[in-house]
Amino acid sequence: MEKIKIYAPVDGIVKAIENISDPVFASKSLGDGVYIEPSSDIFYSPVKDGRIELITDTKHAIYFSTNNYNVLMHIGLETVALSGKPFSLLGKQGQEVSLGDEIVKVDWKIIEAANLPKVTPVLVDLNSVSKYKLTIKNEGKKVKKGELIYEIEIEDVKIIKDNKIKIEKREGKYKSLALKYLEAIGGKNNQSLVHNCMTRLRFKIINKDLVNEKALKEIELTKGINWNGEELQIIIGGEVYKVKDECQKIIDNKSTSDEKQKITKVPRKQKIMGAITAIVFPTIPILIGTGVISGLQAILAISGVISNPAPGQSVMELDLFSSLMYIMSKVGIELVGIVFLCSTVKYFNGDPWLAIWLGAALTSRYLFGSGWTLFTLFGNPIVIKTYEGTVLPMICAGLLLVFLNNWIKKWMPTSVDIVFRPALVFLSTFLIMLFTVGPFFRIIEQFIAKFVILLGKIPFGIGMGIFAMIWQPLVLTGTHVAVVTVIALPMNDGDPSAMYACLQIAIMGQIGAVLALSFISKNQKTKQAIFASLPGAIFGVTEPIIYGINLPKIKPFIFGCVGGLVGGFVAGVLGVAQYRRTGTGIMSWMGLDIGWGIVFGILAGFISLITALVLTLMLYQDRKSEYIAFRENNKLLLKTVKLNFDFDDTKLKSLKEELAKETLAIKDFNKNYKNYENTLISLQKKEIKKQNIINRFEMKKEKLYNKILKLEDKDLDKYNYFANKYNNLKLPENFNELVIEIKELELKLSNCEKEVKTFNTQKYKEVSDIIDNLNVNKNQILEDYKKVYLNAINSIDIAYELTEMNNLNWTKKEVLNLKTREEMKHVK
């Protein structure tokens, strides 16, 4: 059994750490031990054989190491604020120490003058120890320096062949996150469906009132949230699959509660949009996977490694490798309708096996051959033929299948149901699709295809520019997958699609905007989100950078769209067009015309990126300074007064002077604002570093835990070996130093915040008094105008998402006239 002995570093009274007034120390998050009420001014080493590992810049906290454990001596509470003035170092960092070695001398008069507690925690970091016993010597009594004040016995976990070592049951990272998400949406019973796409976790919500959006945003993986009708979309990123799987496992463990949820009424339009989104997005991984394989096939074909079939040539006439690559690249595109059909049936709780049967029949080229012409419309034959590569008809087939299946189930006798219902549902759906629904949707698809193609033919690249500009807004609506299928139709027939080439150009615009934000923003969490989302965006998955970063800031999203407009225009002028699907993102460049087509396509993409980047750098401010925002508010207020109040020059001059006085005070306080912001940035950096260390540690622990579970019933010796290793895993030595640094920054930030809040409260009151003196008629618009001043002085907290912006629900024109739109209509 290992023992750690800690000795009094100073004369004083010893007390248990849980009785200290500071909640952080009392919680033992920084270690377990005691605190001393010191009665002398020189502090000595608290360990018999150790080393000084760290002395903080403010000299109030000193870390020692002994027997591979860290010991903290923290002189006084909140003494970090004194910037080291009371402390004279007698030892130095890196020094080997023993009992009797002087470490630091303290001037208690400075600490007493600041009215700060003198109590000194002396703690051992035991976060990595599973079981220990702490014995305090002479608790509540006065001790002399060098006396033993407490002893810690750490229990060894011995490997005994016939006994299993116990390990704490571990909740996986994603299960823990799933529990948080389910709790935040109002419980697992407040949803009727959970699914995901490439980046979003999607819940079909029963009662919106139970959803805690604030809690959702605070979960570490959340990059943004979005509502689409009754569907809640949580932007997560690439880890969404694992979270969704864990959510599904928890949901499948049905609750026995009979509590009925209040059902939120959702407008029909929102229900339809929610259903479309839920059907479309689960298919995205297959579409992207198909694109990657198509891209690989195209690269191999371009490089001459494999061959493509010539017009009229059977794929079977190629060599085996070329045939297989061609089939794999085409099957996902040609049979995409089955995926949409199955997704539709699953969403509406239909029979997936019937969906596969129907989908296979409707997409079978060998059964249909060249098809049969029903009639001709405007010179275009409407043909009964295979439904390969179609989307809208197959979604409709899914809806029809579910409806007919439920309807027939109601009246068919149960004795023959299993024999006749599947066949009857299949036949009915198949024939209705062939002769009515299918032809109707073929007309619609042809119309959309022609419209998009016509848009691409608008001269001088204008049509392509417009399409590239509106592409990302289409992504927001969730309708972009269906649009992709339409604009890809020319490529299915061997023709180029100019509009398809616009997709990557639009993506590059959003990438340019988010890159600019990485330079502009001082918010470390925003930077972290940007760099986490960029790899996905490069390969075509833009939802995280749109929902999590660009869209909430509005202007960067708009500048990204403008970048798409410029890049699309250039692409149109240069004649860029897509000849084959080769994946999403930068992979799509391989599908452009070989040679100059690829060069021009890449050029257009980078013009889109640079345009958005430059516009964002030049025209977007992550936050306006308090002084600038205050001054702008004054200008609008003065204009409003001139238009609505009968002020003579003297009154107007007096008002200007009052506002100028307040503005000057804001300017003079700017140094304090900067100090507050810089401290906040430093704290964010440290917190991110801390979280990264914890994440790496948790990953290591989870990997070891899973290994232990596999060995549990197979090899007891190995199981015990790894269980012992698991139980004794420790965070790195610098972790506790980092925790101390964070605590010091938190204290510094708290002091800065108090100073800023006090000043802001005073300034807001003074400005409010000025407006109240003007607003004798209690005009609501003028009353609400106070909010813009509150936003100005809270600029830092708003930019760093510590508080929300107050929205002024009036237009600039309404503010200037102090009248609502309706009131202005009645003014002659």
SS (H, E, C) 278-321: HHHHHHHHHHHHHHHHHHHHHHHHHCCCCCCCCCCCCHHHCCHH
* Token pair belonging to 306: 């494999």
Bridge partners of 71, per DSSP, are 64, 124
**Taking Cα atoms as reference points, which of 701, 728, 698, 702 lies closest to residue 165?**
728
Distance in angstroms (rounded) separating the CA atoms of residues 750 and 679: 10
Tell me, rounded to whole angstroms, the distance of Cα 395 from its chain centroid.
Answer: 31
C-alpha angle with apex 800: 799 to 802, nearest 5 degrees?
110
Distance in angstroms (rounded) separating the CA atoms of residues 621 and 520: 8
The pair phi, psi for residue 376, each rounded to 5°, is -115, 135
SS (H, E, C) 771-821: HHHHCCCCCHHHHHCHHHHHHHHCHHHHHCCCCCCCCCCCCHHHHHHCCCH
Strands (E) located in 139-223:
142-143, 148-154, 191-196, 200-205
C-beta neighbour count of 246 within 10 angstroms: 21
Distance in angstroms (rounded) separating the CA atoms of residues 449 and 443: 10
**Taking Cα atoms as reference points, which of 666, 623, 650, 633 lies closest to residue 763?**
666
Catalytic site positions: 197
C-alpha angle with apex 584: 580 to 588, nearest 5 degrees?
45
Strands (E) located in 107-190:
120-124, 132-136, 142-143, 148-154
Map residue 309 onto helix, strand or coil: coil
Map residue 200 onto helix, strand or coil: strand
**Taking Cα atoms as reference points, which of 790, 767, 787, 757 lies closest to residue 676?**
757
**Taking Cα atoms as reference points, which of 650, 645, 665 lies closest to residue 771?**
645
* Token pair belonging to 149: 């004040």
Distance in angstroms (rounded) separating the CA atoms of residues 44 and 554: 58
C-beta neighbour count of 506 within 10 angstroms: 29
The pair phi, psi for residue 645, each rounded to 5°, is -120, 140
* Token pair belonging to 715: 């090899």
C-beta neighbour count of 20 within 10 angstroms: 19
Residues 6+ apart with CB under 8 A from 63: 52, 53, 54, 55, 70, 71, 72, 73, 736, 737, 740
Question: Are residues 145 and 11 in contact, defined by beta-carbon separation less than 8 angstroms?
Answer: yes
**Any idea which residue has 């509540």 for tokens?**
140
Map residue 104 onto helix, strand or coil: strand
**Taking Cα atoms as reference points, which of 5, 74, 84, 79 lies closest to residue 36?**
74
Measured over the CA atoms of residue 629, residue 630, residue 636 and residue 639, the dihedral's sign is negative
E strand or H helix that includes residue 575: none
